[in-house]
Amino acid sequence: MAWEEELFGVLDELEQQAEALYDAERAPELADRSRAEYQTVPLVARLMASVDLEVALGVTGVGRVAGRLDRVAATWCVVGGAGRDWVVRLAAIAAVEGASPRAVPEVAWSPVTRLGVGSALRRLADEGERCVAHRLDGGRHDGVVRRVGQDFVELDQGDPPRPVLIALDALAAVRSE
């Protein structure tokens, strides 16, 4: 029986070597597949997985916005911290620190995530709080959100209040006061 055990040992060793060679040949293919799959992951999917985490966003026209990522929608997010909430358009985000290493696929998103930034701004209008609207070009407007149109937000600023209309495409973020 010793020769049979020796034969099976040699065969096991050959099988392990064959598996190792197969794995070594497949590794680059798997890496390529992984890279190809990852290139389809959008920033919003990473942000969806980062809800309730402390993050820091580099926002065009604003700078660093840090706090807890409270909500993410398809085109905007809410970052809360230090008694102030930020509504940030995803198109204005240049960098994210502290994001989850995971991503949430679009099929798993809540239907509420399909709401546009106008929905968040309408909520600010309902609350009547003072806020600061930051534009992508670095300009800012202090006031109260009054109404939200299809592609703009109306702020009352000054005393007496004067309306200013800000195109949503030019808006980077809005900070509640």
Calculate the dihedral angle through the C-alpha atoms of 10, 15, 16, 20, rounding to the nearest 10 degrees. 140
**Average pLDDT of the residues in 10-27:** 72
Q: Where are the domains of the chain?
A: 1-40, 43-176
**Average pLDDT of the residues in 21-35:** 64
Predicted pLDDT of residue 83: 79
Q: Is a pLDDT exceeding 90 seen at residue 134? A: yes
Instruction: Render pLDDT for 67-76 as a digit per residue (tens, 0 to 9).
Output: 999 999 999 9
Distance CA 138, CA 142 (A): 13
Distance CA 89, CA 169 (A): 9
- Class of 43-176 in CATH: mainly beta
**Average pLDDT of the residues in 121-146:** 95
Percentage of the chain beyond pLDDT 90 is: 67
Predicted pLDDT of residue 30: 58
The chain-wide mean pLDDT, for the chain, equals 89
